[in-house]
């Protein structure tokens, strides 16, 4: 009866609050270093349709990793694939620009190229919907999407000739030669199909498309703007020389579709397929049979509302906007990467069929294993996590290297970043009791990935116990991350009763100590001869520093499974606190890192804009100083998240930055995924209700939350004081209430109770 | 009873004769301009495995169109795809060189590159088998094949390290940039799979392969010899930098497989697939499950013996060698272009499935419609012709242009040569009563191809009645060939009762007259304003001459369906004879054509080495002078065919040169395919017995055949004098005997009988 009342109470939204859907602001992160895009997609959609404001040469592309950049004033067109928040990029497939009047054929600024000026005041962005006015062409452009189909509605200037320009050369992170081959074809029924194959982040990626318009063409031009090589003059197809050929192939293709003067808005639908043009047509037919833009938009809205409803948030308006937008961004990837019939392209670039699951890709695993994927185990149906795991396992089955994905897009491996972090994603799910895949295969796949000698100097790691910096310029970072992944394997092996494997990987999991120099008090780059490299500058980052997108200040405290070991290595709690303080309070010359990509959002040497720092604030808890965690969290949240385009301090990284905020706002964080424990921090929302995969509700309440009450005064779980600094996964899954009472003063007694410290103080129990 | 005796008699081979199989000399045509290859294939096989002696830069490639050239002294390796006798080229896929000892990684002459010297005396070539000793490496190399699998047996020098070099860059008609993308991968079971995509004759062609060796690798190297573009440094895969990676992709790939010192011969089997690596594996498993080279060779031999048995030939030894080799060459294409499961790649470069037929490609239609495909209607089961027609029709169904193939390879269109000569191939079969495809679709496809305005200036042709040379540099040739194809459509439409279509195309079939200048007595390039282009030089050929690989001397007599019209246009029989004599007896400065590809085998202005002349000798018959045909045929056969590498006067063109000889040797020739008539010439074999598709036998006997009896003294069909100069297709199909008695003097009375002249004197009856 009590729980019924609670339920009824928690489900009542506060009167003044906007619906969750309206609280999402897709522009958050589109400026500065967020690298998100404002365009239209459904949750985890294959199509993520969004404006591209610049296509810069490869070396200058970092700031345009999502295609769109809030600071820009012109739009090149709308392309169908984007990454949400990456720090390297690709995609921008099938760029379409609607044009009234004269059609310029080359990209470039308004007046000389086909880009159009636009003003932010004409923009509207909601989950699954984006609109803007292209001032140059007086076109109102609206975008929406289904899982595999982008739907455009273009209202052209009255009395002007309406055209669409399709540029198959356009690409994010472009460079001369990136397009290996492309085709475009007008079929007799008016459908346009085509493909392109690119040598980008994932080399040899093929993407197929099918496009239909709500109105018949009055004419078309298919052009190859990259001349056939001098050496080879092929035999020209019929009509070569004129542009209205039914089909063209080459490496520099554009198409112009003409519609004449049209009184009604033009609806354009574009389906993608990783497999073939015919599959793209099947996807199109299946998902968007008609031309009802409003119906597609309404359906996209419903999809988002269903997903956003899993987290019912009461908070200040800015925080609520931050949180719902974070939830929106957390639901962007991994993306669907299979056709309606289950066909997908695997890491061998061959076509396979997903049977009994949904093949997904866009695995930014170095980022997402930390908080994004653990969050999904709380917010998504279990089947979603099973899809992720089965996609990882099948990818490994078809990997020419026989290992799990590292950074995979559209089924293809990019080998970006370090670690074998598919391991902790799988292990986290397994330890949480999620099943629905071959667990034996999962363990084999994890072990195979961790033992694959040619990968990331694992040979050295297995032989020496660390990755020496004289053989691998990122050796120190790799050593600590491998050690964590190894621990995750040991956990699973232990749970499965595979003691041999558990013992091997437990041993490996302490390898972080092999690069921890107790004298210096830092993880240090170590040479293959056993000595540490001299000189040592913990501030040194970048090429050959020993570290990946960071330095010793960020990586030295990365042993999430063994922070007790760190405390001992440093000499005690006080030393850890001192080190953490030194990290956060370091005086850093920002110029020193101005040119280093991915280092952004700096608080001293704490770099919130990049993942290696993400657990740092929670580490004070391990030293028995949770109030310091609480202070640091406030410092981070206050400075690193804003409900504005420049509101993300660093790359959102497919939701990891967002997932950090969502966990943190709930008052706990998965410092060590696969531990089944969440470290208590402090909440940032008055109330959050999770609808769990099992249908139960878990309420997090923060009483007396305010700027002047930054500390946790007390915590109760289901009415009883929580006498430890962490929460167990099964406690959340059981449903109930976690109630914080915030205070102007920390409750130091609560935090220093015996057994208050999280799991990893005693890692091998 | 009589027929039984005859049958028994004819089936006895002459005592001294070699078996047909041994009479084939695959070296015929491998020297000079024949462009055949000596390697191993089964009839119409997808794999045609043969040595490549040079890979020249594109512009110098003509002489190496078949990869092998008898004049060369070094072999680069053995590749799996070749054209038999083309004048333009591509292919040479998956080149393998077996190497003892040190492995050089680049092509090039022995000592600097991986090519090896060889001597012809070590070569052995038989249908389905080729062997040679690579002197450089002391390797005995033997090749055989099934339909989709090439099988190699390499006996390495004792005590030396044995290796295979696979060069995926190597290609016939190569140029920088031709390889768009390629992959190679070592699977855990030891299978090597890969693909390459090239921009060659057929742009964007993908070919997949799977390779297995009879002995395990002792090591391997996968290398990319074409550096990644400066602009884009991707993230390297595991093991990058070392060569023993399990997988590599790029544009400049080679692989080296090491076997150590092996005592036994190494058997290597390589399956191809146009669809995928997995399909290549399925093809491999299905066709060559083991490593029994001798069994594969024996099976290939049996396939050839079955095919060669359809023509039982008694002749002088050199002529018999010429004829069986011609038959061998006539059975090289169209090639199988689908996987074991029927999957194939169509002209849209998408994967389709052949249901109820065998998808074939390598359609050199400009050549083969003349005699090669008509010959197949006599020598192959009807199902084979049905496969050809259904492949043409399905190709049209999936053609982005909606028309029948022009020059198709591996399912992809090249747009090489002129005309819509799929039409006469289909029409010839239809008129001969061959069914088993959708006849209505066949007519639609023919009509669509003939009406497709953007193709080959058909718009002008349909408007003006000819293709004007000021718009199309090959206008005169196109006009006469279109007119013939139109007549073929009219024939089929008439037979189907489609009078509207018949009437439209009958009208079009007389269009050759629109470019025939009666005053000059030649087909002449005509301008769009209606006047003939001045000046006119009937000897002018090459670029902008108005003619395709020829001049007015060859094309002026090309109206096979209306030679009666030609006689009238010229003024009478005597004028035609005079023109033909002028053609054959012209004094030509050979230097004038020395640099023109495809002009070879000249007798005056008669160019036996190229197709437009092929019917000329038979035209004397139409002027009532068959003895002149007989004389000219002797002149041609004596000078243009020899049982030696340089024995073909010009490109064999996928069997057309060979088919000409086979028909001519039988004493008749299909001047106008689709007429169901064969014009009588004179035989060159003492006896030829055809086993017809319906199982009946047709015997052609030449009594008293000798050099001193060059004329036909009499002809009897089934014992009764043949009182006309042509034979009907149904007369052959009925079985029986065509008996020539050769004579030192012509029987002029026989030839000048009323109704003796072939069909096309009265084309519209």
| Domain around B49 | 26-305
Query: What is the model's pLDDT at position A557?
Result: 96
Taking the Cβ of residue B677 and every Cβ of chain A, the question of whether any pair is shorter than 8 Å is answered with: no
Q: Does some domain include residue B287?
A: yes
Taking the Cβ of residue A221 and every Cβ of chain B, the question of whether any pair is shorter than 8 Å is answered with: no
Q: How far apart are CA A381 and CA A375, in angstroms?
A: 11
Q: Does some domain include residue A650?
A: no
Query: What is the model's pLDDT at position A599?
Result: 74
Alpha-carbon distance values, A666 to A397, A457, A597, A663 (Å) = 38, 39, 30, 5
* Interface confidence (ipTM) of the complex: 0.93
pLDDT single digits (tens) A677-718 = 999 999 999 999 999 999 999 999 999 999 999 999 999 999
Helix axes A439-451, A382-397, angle to 10 degrees: 50
Set of chain A residues whose Cβ sits within 8 Å of the Cβ of B185: 348, 400
Taking the Cβ of residue B227 and every Cβ of chain A, the question of whether any pair is shorter than 8 Å is answered with: no
Are A422 and A370 in contact by the 8 Å Cβ rule? The answer is no
Query: What is the model's pLDDT at position B200?
Result: 95
pLDDT single digits (tens) A530-562 = 999 999 999 999 889 999 999 999 999 999 999
Q: Rounded mean pLDDT of B82-108?
A: 96
Confidence of residue B8 (pLDDT cuts 50, 70, 90): very low
Q: Does some domain include residue A83?
A: yes
Helix axes B293-308, B317-330, angle to 10 degrees: 110
Taking the Cβ of residue B249 and every Cβ of chain A, the question of whether any pair is shorter than 8 Å is answered with: yes
Query: What is the model's pLDDT at position B755?
Result: 59
> Closest chain B residue to A59 measured between Cα atoms?
B231
Query: What is the model's pLDDT at position B274?
Result: 98
Q: Does some domain include residue A277?
A: yes
Asked which of A452-466, B220-234, B247-261 is least confident by mean pLDDT, the reply is: B220-234
Q: Does some domain include residue B96?
A: yes
Q: Rounded mean pLDDT of A273-296?
A: 98
Pick from B429, B421, B428: nearest CA to B403: B421
Q: How far apart are CA B553 and CA B544, in angstroms?
A: 16
Taking the Cβ of residue B187 and every Cβ of chain A, the question of whether any pair is shorter than 8 Å is answered with: yes
Q: Is the pLDDT of residue B722 over 80?
A: yes
**Minimal Cα–Cα distance from A351 to chain B, Å?**
8
Q: How far apart are CA A103 and CA B391, in angstroms?
A: 41
Taking the Cβ of residue A420 and every Cβ of chain B, the question of whether any pair is shorter than 8 Å is answered with: no
Q: Which two tokens stand for residue B388?
A: 């050809």
Q: Is the pLDDT of residue A337 over 70?
A: yes
Tell if the CB–CB gap between A278 and B197 is shorter than 8 Å: no
* Beta-carbon contacts of residue A71 (< 8 Å; ≥ 6 apart): A31
Q: Which two tokens stand for residue A566?
A: 């760190």
Taking the Cβ of residue A239 and every Cβ of chain B, the question of whether any pair is shorter than 8 Å is answered with: yes
Q: Is the pLDDT of residue B6 over 80?
A: no
Over pLDDT 90: what percentage of chain B? 88
Q: Rounded mean pLDDT of B607-619?
A: 95
Q: Which two tokens stand for residue B677?
A: 């008539």
Q: Is the pLDDT of residue A3 over 50?
A: no
Query: What is the model's pLDDT at position A762?
Result: 45
Query: What is the model's pLDDT at position B763?
Result: 36
**Minimal Cα–Cα distance from A242 to chain B, Å?**
9
Q: Which two tokens stand for residue A207?
A: 């993407």
> Closest chain B residue to A173 measured between Cα atoms?
B232
Query: What is the model's pLDDT at position B723?
Result: 86
Q: At A483, is the secondary structure helix, strand, or coil?
A: helix
Q: Look over chain B and give the mean of its residue pLDDT values, rounded to a whole number.
A: 94
Helix axes B317-330, B372-379, angle to 10 degrees: 100
Q: ∠ at Cα B57 (B51, B60), nearest 5°?
A: 90
Alpha-carbon distance values, B150 to B49, B142, B144, B239, B339 (Å) = 6, 11, 6, 31, 14
Tell if the CB–CB gap between B176 and A276 is shorter than 8 Å: no
Query: What is the model's pLDDT at position A754?
Result: 57
Asked which of A659-668, B550-559, B593-602, B717-726 is least confident by mean pLDDT, the reply is: B593-602
Asked which of A2-16, A118-132, B43-57, B637-651 is least confident by mean pLDDT, the reply is: A2-16
Q: Rounded mean pLDDT of A145-167?
A: 96
Q: Look over chain A and give the mean of its residue pLDDT values, rounded to a whole number.
A: 94
Q: Is the pLDDT of residue B503 over 70?
A: yes
Q: How far apart are CA B606 and CA B386, in angstroms?
A: 34
pLDDT single digits (tens) A374-408 = 999 999 999 999 999 999 999 999 999 999 999 99
Q: What are phi and psi of B697, to 5 degrees?
A: -110, 145
Q: Does some domain include residue B193?
A: yes
* Burial of A17 per CB tally in 10 Å (0-12, 13-18, 19+): middle
Asked which of A401-410, A500-509, A723-732, B455-464 is least confident by mean pLDDT, the reply is: A723-732
Query: What is the model's pLDDT at position A618?
Result: 96
Beta bridge partners of A387: none
Q: At A508, is the secondary structure helix, strand, or coil?
A: helix
Are B625 and B751 in contact by the 8 Å Cβ rule? The answer is yes
Beta bridge partners of B269: B151, B212
Total structural domains in chain B? 1
Segment 190-209 of chain A within 8 Å of chain B by CB: 197, 199-201, 203-204
* Burial of A340 per CB tally in 10 Å (0-12, 13-18, 19+): middle
Taking the Cβ of residue B4 and every Cβ of chain A, the question of whether any pair is shorter than 8 Å is answered with: no
Q: At A738, is the secondary structure helix, strand, or coil?
A: strand
Q: Which two tokens stand for residue A126?
A: 């909601």
Pick from A330, A340, A321: nearest CA to A370: A330
> Closest chain A residue to B407 measured between Cα atoms?
A235
Query: What is the model's pLDDT at position A752?
Result: 58
Query: What is the model's pLDDT at position A58?
Result: 79
Over pLDDT 90: what percentage of chain A? 88
**Minimal Cα–Cα distance from B642 to chain A, Å?**
33
Pick from B581, B576, B574, B575: nearest CA to B557: B576
Give the pairing of strands B50-52 and B77-79. Answer: antiparallel
Q: How far apart are CA A282 and CA A340, in angstroms?
A: 7
Q: Which two tokens stand for residue A387?
A: 């899809």
Taking the Cβ of residue A241 and every Cβ of chain B, the question of whether any pair is shorter than 8 Å is answered with: no
Q: What are phi and psi of B154, to 5 degrees?
A: -115, 125
Segment 5-64 of chain B within 8 Å of chain A by CB: 57-59
Q: Does some domain include residue B536?
A: no
Q: At A730, is the secondary structure helix, strand, or coil?
A: helix
Q: What is the dihedral of CA B223, B229, B230, B235, to 10 degrees?
A: -60
Q: Is the pLDDT of residue B611 over 50?
A: yes
- Read out DSSP for A684-706? -SSEEEEE-TTS-EEEEEEET-B
Tell if the CB–CB gap between A238 and B452 is shorter than 8 Å: yes
pLDDT single digits (tens) B460-470 = 999 999 999 99
pLDDT single digits (tens) A408-462 = 999 999 999 999 999 999 999 999 999 999 999 999 999 999 999 999 999 999 9
The single-letter DSSP state of residue A549 is S
Please name the helix (run of DSSP H) or strand (run of DSSP E) that holds residue A282, with its range, or none: helix A277-287
Q: Is the pLDDT of residue A130 over 80?
A: yes
Tell if the CB–CB gap between B401 and A232 is shorter than 8 Å: no
Q: Rounded mean pLDDT of B505-520?
A: 97
Q: Does some domain include residue A138?
A: yes
> Closest chain B residue to A276 measured between Cα atoms?
B350
pLDDT single digits (tens) A576-586 = 999 999 999 99
Q: How far apart are CA A329 and CA A372, in angstroms?
A: 10
| Interior/surface letters B695-716, b for 16+ CB within 10 angstroms, e for the rest | eebbbbbbeebeeebbbbbebe
* Strands of the A711-717 sheet, one edge to the other: A311-314, A687-691, A697-703, A736-743, A711-717, A720-721
Q: Which two tokens stand for residue A453?
A: 């000698």
Q: How far apart are CA A431 and CA A495, in angstroms?
A: 8
* Beta-carbon contacts of residue B244 (< 8 Å; ≥ 6 apart): B219, B220, B221, B222
Please name the helix (run of DSSP H) or strand (run of DSSP E) that holds residue B297, with its range, or none: helix B293-308
Q: How far apart are CA A694 and CA A696, in angstroms?
A: 6
Q: Is the pLDDT of residue B556 over 80?
A: yes
**Which CATH number do you get for residue A255?**
2.70.98.10
Query: What is the model's pLDDT at position B532?
Result: 98
* Strands of the B266-273 sheet, one edge to the other: B124-126, B129-134, B139-145, B149-155, B266-273, B203-213, B192-199, B179-186, B247-250
How remote is the C-alpha of B421 from its chain's centroid?
14
Q: Rounded mean pLDDT of A476-491?
A: 98
Does the bond joining B85 to the residue before it have cis omega, within 30 degrees of 0? Answer: no
């Amino acid at each position: 009866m009590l729980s019924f009342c609670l339920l009824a109470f928690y489900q009542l939204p506060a009167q003044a609050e906007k619906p969750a859907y309206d609280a999402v602001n897709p522009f958050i992160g589109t400026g500065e270093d967020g690298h998100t895009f404002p365009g239209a997609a459904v949750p985890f959609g294959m199509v993520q349709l969004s404006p591209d404001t610049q296509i810069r040469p490869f070396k200058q592309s970092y700031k345009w990793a999502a295609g769109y950049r809030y600071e820009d004033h012109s739009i090149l067109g709308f392309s169908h694939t984007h990454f949400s928040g990456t720090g390297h990029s690709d995609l921008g497939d099938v760029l379409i620009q609607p044009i009234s009047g004269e059609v310029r054929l080359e990209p470039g600024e308004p007046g000389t190229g086909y880009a159009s000026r636009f003003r932010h005041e004409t923009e509207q962005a909601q989950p699954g919907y984006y609109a803007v006015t292209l001032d140059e062409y007086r076109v109102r452009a609206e975008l929406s999407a289904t899982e595999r189909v982008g739907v455009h509605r273009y209202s052209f200037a009255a009395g002007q000739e309406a055209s669409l320009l399709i540029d198959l050369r356009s690409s994010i992170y472009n460079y001369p030669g990136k397009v290996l081959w492309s085709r475009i074809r007008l079929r007799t029924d008016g459908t346009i199909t085509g493909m392109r194959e690119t040598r980008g982040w994932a080399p040899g990626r093929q993407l197929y498309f099918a496009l239909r318009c709500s109105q018949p063409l009055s004419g078309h031009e298919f052009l190859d703007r990259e001349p056939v090589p001098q050496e080879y003059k092929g035999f020209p197809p019929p009509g070569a020389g004129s542009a209205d050929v039914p089909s063209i192939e080459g490496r520099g293709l554009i198409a112009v579709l003409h519609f004449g003067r049209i009184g009604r808005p033009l609806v354009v639908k574009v389906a993608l397929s990783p497999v073939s043009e015919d599959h793209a047509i099947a996807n199109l037919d299946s998902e968007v049979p008609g031309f009802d833009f409003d119906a597609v938009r309404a359906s996209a809205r419903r999809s988002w509302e269903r997903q956003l409803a899993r987290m019912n948030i009461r908070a200040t308006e800015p925080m609520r906007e931050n949180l719902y937008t974070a939830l929106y961004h957390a639901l962007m990837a991994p993306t669907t990467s299979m056709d309606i019939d289950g066909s997908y392209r695997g890491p061998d670039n061959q076509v396979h069929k997903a049977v009994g699951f949904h093949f997904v890709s866009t695995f930014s695993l170095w980022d997402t294993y930390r908080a994004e994927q653990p969050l999904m185990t709380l917010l998504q149906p279990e089947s979603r996590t099973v899809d992720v795991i089965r996609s990882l396992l099948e990818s490994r089955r078809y990997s020419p290297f026989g290992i799990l994905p590292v950074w995979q897009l559209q089924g293809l491996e990019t080998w970006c970043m370090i670690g074998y972090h598919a391991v902790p994603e799988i292990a986290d799910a397994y330890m949480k009791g999620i099943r629905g895949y071959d667990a034996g295969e999962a363990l084999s796949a994890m072990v195979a990935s961790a033992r694959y000698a040619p990968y990331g100097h694992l040979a050295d790691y297995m032989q020496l116990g660390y990755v020496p910096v004289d053989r691998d310029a990122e050796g120190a970072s790799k050593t600590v991350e491998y050690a964590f992944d190894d621990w995750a394997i040991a956990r699973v092996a232990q749970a499965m009763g595979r003691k041999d494997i558990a013992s091997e990987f437990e041993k490996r999991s302490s390898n972080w100590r092999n690069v921890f120099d107790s004298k210096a008090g830092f993880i240090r780059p170590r040479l293959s001869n056993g000595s540490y490299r001299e000189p040592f500058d913990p501030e040194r980052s970048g090429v050959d520093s020993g570290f990946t997108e960071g330095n010793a200040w960020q990586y030295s405290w990365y042993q999430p499974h063994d922070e007790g070991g760190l405390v001992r290595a440093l000499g005690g709690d006080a030393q850890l606190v001192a080190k953490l303080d030194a990290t956060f309070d370091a005086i850093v010359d920002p110029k020193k890192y101005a040119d280093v990509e991915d280092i952004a959002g700096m608080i001293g040497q704490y770099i919130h804009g990049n993942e290696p720092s993400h657990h740092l604030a929670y580490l004070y808890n391990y030293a028995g100083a949770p109030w310091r965690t609480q202070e640091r969290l406030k410092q981070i949240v206050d400075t690193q998240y804003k409900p504005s385009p420049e509101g993300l301090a660093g790359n959102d990284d497919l939701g990891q930055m967002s997932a950090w905020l969502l966990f943190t706002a709930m008052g706990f964080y998965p410092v060590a995924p696969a531990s089944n424990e969440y470290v208590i921090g402090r909440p940032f929302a008055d109330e959050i209700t999770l609808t769990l995969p099992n249908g139960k509700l878990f309420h997090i309440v923060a009483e007396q939350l305010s700027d002047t009450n930054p500390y946790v005064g007390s915590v109760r779980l289901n009415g009883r004081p929580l006498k430890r600094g962490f929460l167990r996964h099964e406690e959340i899954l059981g449903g109930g209430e976690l109630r914080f009472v915030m205070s102007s003063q920390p409750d130091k007694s609560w935090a220093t109770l015996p057994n208050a410290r999280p799991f990893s103080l005693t890692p091998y129990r």
